[in-house]
Structure 1
Amino acid sequence: MRLVVGMATFLDSFDIFSIAFVMPVMAPLWHLSPVQVGMVFSIGFLGQMIGSVVFGFFSERYGRIRALSVAVFIFAVATLLSALVQSAAQFEALRFIQGLGLGGHVPIAATYITEISRQAGRGRFVLLYESIFAVGNVLAAVICRIFLAAFGWQSIFWLSGVAGVLLLPFVMRLPESPRWLCARGQARYALDLVRGLETGKPQGPGPLPAPVHGGAAGCLHVPLFLPRDSLRLLLLTVPLWFALGLLNYGLATWLPIIYTRQFRLPVSDALDYSIIRSVIIFIGTIACSLAIDAIGRRKIVMGGFLCAALPLVALALMGSAMTAGWVFFMTLITSFFVAVLMLAVYLYTPELCPAQARGAFTGFNAAVLRFASMIAPGAVGLGMSHGSIAGVFMLFAAVGLMVSGISFVMARETRHLVM
């Protein structure tokens, strides 16, 4: 179950990072300016933002697996069609549609894995699944390094699209989340499903019985949200997810182009830098997976943002003395801690919310991340157009420092909570 859902997350990671490697090749073909390149990135994140909200509510009504299956289908079809485009306008339209699927399945997958895990060791269990995201990052860099030169940019979309089509039947056969069933008042159905998991014969989603209004015996009933609770949670989680969208996707989508346009490095050298960055991100995710149950969610979130921001402050202060080597080294440190944080919030956010709204709440916060992701490429593109890369780094650093302070004041520990 964890592997199948993880493969869906792998495809998300592979797509997000491969487009960063593909654009340095596609942009000259279509004579795209930095602002236009930023628009290509942003339109995909707009689709992901909408998909996060829509599929979050879809998963509450129809179940995690049905929502996940539809999202993977949309992603696979749009990705295959992306290999056939003839213009930037066609590509942007498909990036938006593809984004709907990507934005939908990532928060649902994180919620699902959280809901099938037990309290003891939940952090390690969930984050080892999330580490597949980092594997997609590494493979995106390696595959693009090989396939772009040998087979052209279309080959990247063929690979990703075919993988999505092959994955879909496995996703559709996954058993539904027992905790989602309990939230619908189907304790007996959930119990049968869990027994099937324990005997090695889990059921697929199948025909679900009608919900029992008002809960059922044996189900933990938690009020959805009290106004003060929802406000407190949003004041914490929205800044966390927004800052990560800005930091992660602002750097991931633009670093290869910064190397090639700002510092005149060959595309091959930019991809080599990206491969090293991807390996560091993978190390960060494994370190977070092994440490988060011992250290705790609060300390990792609070310290991670601080450590991610400080190298960007150093880059901004360099100004005109900035070199490709310094950018590579400093963003490598930032990328390590951002990778840790990206895993941590996908575990931490579902833990903060009761089961009755977990999918929708995680989906909403993922939409915040996608909104920030949509803004970030355009901001970097605008900064490059005006020669103010140092100013962009300072902006990103200020956001990271602010969120570290918010976490210090508002974050609470959840590692000992029973879901």
Structure 2
Amino acid sequence: MNWYRDISTAEKRTLWGCFAGWALDGVDTQLFSLVIPTLLVTWGIGKGQAGLIGGATLVAGALGGLLAGWLSDRYGRVRALQITVIWFSLFTFLSAFAQNFEQLLVLKALQGLGFGGEWTAGAVLLSETIRAQHRGKAMGIVQSAWGFGWAGAVLLYTVTFTWISPEWAWRVLFAIGAVPALLVLYVRRSIKEPPRAPVLRDPGQVRATASHIFDRSVIRTTIVGALIGVGAHGGYHAITTWLPTYLKTERHLSVLGTGAYLTVMITAFIAGCFVSAWLQDRIGRRRNVILFAVCCAATVNLYTFLPMGNTAMLILSFPLGLFAAGIPATLGALFNELYPQGIRGTGVGFCYNFGRIVSAGFPVLVGHMGNSMPLGSALGIDAGIAYGLVVVAALMLPETKGRKLAAAEPAGSAASTASNASAAPVARRV
């Protein structure tokens, strides 16, 4: 942890502010998956309706990420972070008072806007605050906060459902979701807005807009970054959606519903983020993404093609969770280093969240392929396609490790070559 002693107080405050935001975001989001069984019984809704709520939250989260990126470019990183934290806290709290399925569906979708936006706003803020040589480590550590939030949600669920009847316990859990709003007080007092590019002097220039991520100077970066987002999220969602079903229905394994399995997966996620955080500042963003993608594809195929029992599956869950976490732990630093300051939030929001939207097709593809072949084979092929896309796309990007973001070029400056994408223009003459 020598690097942590090297960074300034302002960097540390930003690091822990973003960490807390993402952890609390994880708590609020994971609570729904834990109370689904209670809602099925209490309200008598079907699994399809519960799935619709979860799906609506994820889609809204992707849209929120796109919107938050634009907000951070227009109104500032800190302000966008405050807005998103208040937003998801408010609608998580209001979900506690939902009286029927329709109301909860709307409220959870609105919560999703803040949930998706908080990652984008926080990632851009942290990337512009932490010095280049430690950016990967800081971004990876913040990504691990999701695992701590996941564990926190399980703990809150256990305590609440132990002391309160189920028909009221889930409402209490959602009401607790208002707590993250208090984080805004810390953000307002302790976190400073990163320096911005100089104000435009030429009246013939305009501020960058969302459409500028499709300018000729950065369109290749946007397309390739979006492909990485598609592959990374596609592989992850295919695994988390279908692997439990495959292991339970075709391998007839019983350990999936145990606390041991949940503990292994949460621990593996946190460990994967820390390993990725350390590696990406040593071997670079491209090599790190490629390494974890190849390892993910290999581990999934070991899962689906090797005969194993409960103990072997539990052991293999750790490397699978570790490798799956390593890719998103790299994306924050990578995507931020690909764009100039004026459109950085928009670019990061698009690459990450476009991938989340399109990745919904990968679980569907597994299900479709599973009609004509064993589910394990369909899952292995699908994961191979997703992570193969990550590898190919990563090979098309320049290495960005060590790129300085604070020295962003003024809007309207000349574009540089791919060797320094951070100097791409962020405004055009009209």
Q: 1:307 maps to what in 2? A: 295
Closer, same or farther in 2 for the Cα pair 1:244/1:62, shift >3 Å? same
1:226, distance to aligned residue in structure 2 (A): 8.0
For residue 279 of structure 2, what is the amino acid of its counterpart? A
Closer, same or farther in 2 for the Cα pair 1:307/1:241, shift >3 Å? same
Residues 405-414 or 334-343, more deviating: 405-414
Hey, what's the Cα distance between the residues in 2 that align with 1:387 and 1:23? 31
Residue 269 (structure 2) pairs with residue 281 (structure 1): yes
Closer, same or farther in 2 for the Cα pair 1:293/1:369, shift >3 Å? same
1:316, distance to aligned residue in structure 2 (A): 3.7
Unaligned ranges ≥5, structure 2: 1-13, 204-211, 406-430
Closer, same or farther in 2 for the Cα pair 1:299/1:308, shift >3 Å? same
Contact between 1:56 and 1:359, CA under 8 Å: does it hold in 2? yes
Contact between 1:63 and 1:176, CA under 8 Å: does it hold in 2? no
Q: 1:15 maps to what in 2? A: 28
Q: 2:399 maps to what in 1? A: 413
Deviations 1:337-374 (A, max 9, x none): 12111110011100111111101101112322431465
Contact between 2:238 and 2:366, CA under 8 Å: does it hold in 1? yes
Q: 2:106 maps to what in 1? A: 93
For residue 345 of structure 2, what is the amino acid of its counterpart? G
Contact between 1:10 and 1:136, CA under 8 Å: does it hold in 2? yes
1:310, distance to aligned residue in structure 2 (A): 1.8
Q: 2:137 maps to what in 1? A: 124
Q: 2:150 aligns with which of 133, 137, 141?
A: 137
- C-alpha RMSD of matched pairs (Å): 3.4
Hey, what's the Cα distance between the residues in 1 that align with 2:179 and 2:244? 25
For residue 79 of structure 2, what is the amino acid of its counterpart? R
1:111, distance to aligned residue in structure 2 (A): 0.5
Q: 1:240 maps to what in 2? A: 228
Hey, what's the Cα distance between the residues in 2 that align with 1:8 and 1:291? 24
Instruction: Report 1:46-195 matches (<5 A).
Output: 46-151=59-164, 152-159=169-176, 161-179=177-195, 181-182=196-197, 185=198
Contact between 1:305 and 1:403, CA under 8 Å: does it hold in 2? no
Residues 92-101 or 372-381, more deviating: 372-381
Residue 342 (structure 2) pairs with residue 356 (structure 1): yes
- SS of residue matched to 2:178: helix
For residue 334 of structure 2, what is the amino acid of its counterpart? Y
Number of residue equivalences? 379
Contact between 2:224 and 2:393, CA under 8 Å: does it hold in 1? yes
Hey, what's the Cα distance between the residues in 1 that align with 2:186 and 2:272? 29
Q: 1:398 maps to what in 2? A: 384
Residues 79-88 or 103-112, more deviating: 79-88
Residues 49-58 or 94-103, more deviating: 49-58
Hey, what's the Cα distance between the residues in 2 that align with 1:408 and 1:171? 34
Hey, what's the Cα distance between the residues in 1 that align with 2:82 and 2:325? 26
Hey, what's the Cα distance between the residues in 2 that align with 1:373 and 1:153? 30
For residue 170 of structure 2, what is the amino acid of its counterpart? W
Contact between 2:213 and 2:219, CA under 8 Å: does it hold in 1? no
1:329, distance to aligned residue in structure 2 (A): 4.6
Hey, what's the Cα distance between the residues in 2 that align with 1:33 and 1:322? 33
Contact between 2:232 and 2:387, CA under 8 Å: does it hold in 1? no
Contact between 1:308 and 1:334, CA under 8 Å: does it hold in 2? yes
- SS of residue matched to 1:178: coil
For residue 178 of structure 2, what is the amino acid of its counterpart? V
With a CA cutoff of 8 Å and minimum separation of 6, indicate the structure with the bigger relative contact order.
1
- SS of residue matched to 1:51: helix
Contact between 1:141 and 1:278, CA under 8 Å: does it hold in 2? no
Closer, same or farther in 2 for the Cα pair 1:66/1:103, shift >3 Å? same
Closer, same or farther in 2 for the Cα pair 1:52/1:404, shift >3 Å? closer
Hey, what's the Cα distance between the residues in 2 that align with 1:162 and 1:240? 34
Hey, what's the Cα distance between the residues in 2 that align with 1:19 and 1:140? 9
1:32, distance to aligned residue in structure 2 (A): 4.7
Closer, same or farther in 2 for the Cα pair 1:138/1:374, shift >3 Å? same
Residues 272-281 or 366-375, more deviating: 366-375
For residue 312 of structure 1, what is the amino acid of its counterpart? V
TM-score by length of 2: 0.76
**Aligned residues with identical type, % of pairs:** 22
Hey, what's the Cα distance between the residues in 2 that align with 1:132 and 1:55? 20
Deviations 1:377-397 (A, max 9, x none): 777788999997436523541
For residue 138 of structure 1, what is the amino acid of its counterpart? A
Contact between 1:312 and 1:331, CA under 8 Å: does it hold in 2? no
Hey, what's the Cα distance between the residues in 1 that align with 2:183 and 2:312? 40
Deviations 1:114-168 (A, max 9, x none): 0011123222233233332232233233433443444333333223x23222212
TM-score by length of 1: 0.78
Closer, same or farther in 2 for the Cα pair 1:372/1:351, shift >3 Å? same
Q: 2:54 aligns with which of 41, 53, 63?
A: 41
- SS of residue matched to 1:144: helix
For residue 155 of structure 1, what is the amino acid of its counterpart? V
Q: 1:342 aligns with which of 328, 333, 338?
A: 328
Deviations 1:157-191 (A, max 9, x none): 223x2322221222233544333x22xx2xxxxxx
